[in-house]
Structure 1
Amino acid sequence: MEAEYVTTPFGRRPMTLAMLMAQRRAEHGKHIRSVDKWKIYRALCEAKPLLGVTDRALAVLNALLSFYPKNELSDDANLIVFPSNAQLSLRAHGMAEQTIRRHLAALIAAGLLVRRDSPNGKRYVRRNRAGDLNEAYGFSLAPLLARAEEIEHLAAQVAAERLHIQSLRERISLHRRDIAKLIETAIAEAVEGSWESVYVAFRALIDGVSRSPTAIELDTLLDKLSRLHDQIINQLETHVKAAKLSGNPYQNERHIQNSDSESLIESETEARRQKLPLDETAIPGTTPTTPEAAASPGTTEPTSSTTRSFRTEARNEPPAELKSFPLDLILRACPDIMAYGPAGTINNWRDLLAASIIVKSTLDISPRAYQEACRIMGTENAATVIACILQRAPYINSAGGYLRDLTRRTEKGEFAIGPMLMSLLRANTITPKVA
């Protein structure tokens, strides 16, 4: 291929230094070589983020390449194509001519094409008597041949970056799953620590990532999640080791304690062994107790004051207090209740309590069941449970019956809000992968 002659654009289009350098770059003195035009085009599509060209501009370049008759771009061939804008529009699936001109300018600015304008600005070719090309005016594809090696290296760089980002995303997804489940386990097992604050900090890390993060941002996020994961694992291991140490019968001698039911039986047995006063006025309304009366059939067994006071004390003993959770965590797990707050939002606990009263009526929960839940669980925890019931309403046949059952379980110390909240939170945060 003969050395390219530096030309300037036709008409009012100005000449720029970028055009000059693009034309000079296309002139090379290397040995004759060739590249497959479609192979270099695929590399361009891969490397377009680094070259600063759009997919629409590459569509125009694809149409231009289709006008070159051979598959190989070589040094010893004329690399100028000269289609009109109308022909380009047909090959570019009907793209408007104004759009084609804009993308052609972008390809020239990126150094992928060189414009060879004729004296009158038209694109045409002159042939000799043998039919061979003598002079051609249009767009030169020589920059693609000259920059083939560079384009392939850029394409390989983009591919490597994409694989690296994919690997980072996968590792971040695994850390997200592990951390969420470890926090849930810690709350369910009542491991000491401010796990609500840990979860809020964890969500802040995830929510702070942009929709299209760079490799540096993902790498930073992965490093922070790794440290948080290790801290949680260490704290859980410490808890397990402490539990094993305290439960080792060879390390510490166990102190045998009777359960409440055993204590009740023992106190009743002890009371029966005691001799009660013979005076009927000692306990109003009781039958005089004598050995004969106690031995005679059909008599009423006496009730001692010790037994009666123990039973009253056991009956009035308050249940174990439920653990409260941050309002932000509750709203993340139960977003449906926000629609029932003042002005369609919930900003504080007062708003949540007001919303729970409205939801209570909506779900046909009786006032008595709601009051009993507030008494046993606490007002804030009862509102939290109602928010959870609302979130799972389609799967609950009777909201009132479910609330009464949870209240009974709370009174027996068999219910905790943490696992319920974490389950809903995990269901609500199943999203697409980290973008």
Structure 2
Amino acid sequence: MTNTTATAPCAAARSPRAETQPGEAPCPAERIEFAPFPRWQLLDMVAEGRRALGLTANDIAVLRALLSFLPVKEQAPVTPRVQTVVFASNAEIAKRAAGLDERVLRRAFERLSRAGLLLRRDSANGKRFPLRRGGRIIAAFGLDLAPAFASVPLLADLVSEQRAEAEALRSLRAMLQARRRALMEGLQHLPATIHDWLTHLTRIFRRKLALEDLQSIALRFDEIEEQLPADKQLPEENSVLPASIRTAEMPAGDGQNVRHKESLKKDIDSRKTRICIDECTELRGLLPHPPQTLNEAKEALKTCAAFLGLRTQIVANALTRLGWQRTFEALDHMARNGLQIRTPNEYFARLVAERTASTGTCSEPLSDGPRAIAP
């Protein structure tokens, strides 16, 4: 996933009265409502999505320290009835945050606030303290963690999307490693420059690669295959797929198992495809005509994904696991239920996982797999 700062997740969770002006006491009626949730489970979610939220490791340490001040039992969920405003001093917070410097604390408070996880309820003089009535704390000035708990549904969506994208990246990485292996094993007389690059690629794959890195490698593979002589052929398409998604042999009409090899110079995008969207009633309305070639199928897939608000990586993962036909069917299912879906990427990733579990991975040639819909 691209490391961009996410929009403050709890912005929509605040009521008009949730903000207080300096000098005004936040009364219980002004507290932010949220569903009961365990504080340490919340911390785990924020830690997993911290890069997308624009948070650092120190920010997570400060959030852990703040959560430790909440007056609840260790494993008990935090509810709106709990005093979520932390009025401890910076010195007390620093002790529970591994002795972080006060400047680091202030910056952490700012980043947590920008991420929508913290609300500063300042008194007139900027001090933090509780307001008591009859010896009981009824409100407080300080650092309110209620926005973090109100953000739990959106944080869950963020984490789910990150996991789905990570799975798609793993699939794309496996496909590229398989292409490298096919070139190294299938062609014995590669030019020295290409052979050296393929050898160097082994070291590159040991690193953590972003989507842009993998797409760049895929484009380089395309260039190499275009430069090879027409009489040089790679092994059949199925052999370049990882074992987990390798396609089954398709029986020919005479009962013999036949595998077709194609020239590297052949334009695979012009091949006829058997994709049928006659029963995809929702998608038919989005497309000018049913896709007849792989190139048209790619464009149709991009159009449908964009209309449904799906990320490229998630659709690429579906294509790898389900194949063309079943991916279109899954998109059509999602289009029929579009108005009821609040988080399309999470929903589609779950739908793909369910269909893979029930019917297995694809049993059709994928040609170029995730590269089919690469931007």
TM-score by length of 1: 0.42
The structure with the larger Rg is: 1
Kindly indicate whether structure 1 or structure 2 has the higher relative contact order, using CA contacts under 8 Å at least 6 residues apart: 2
TM-score by length of 2: 0.48
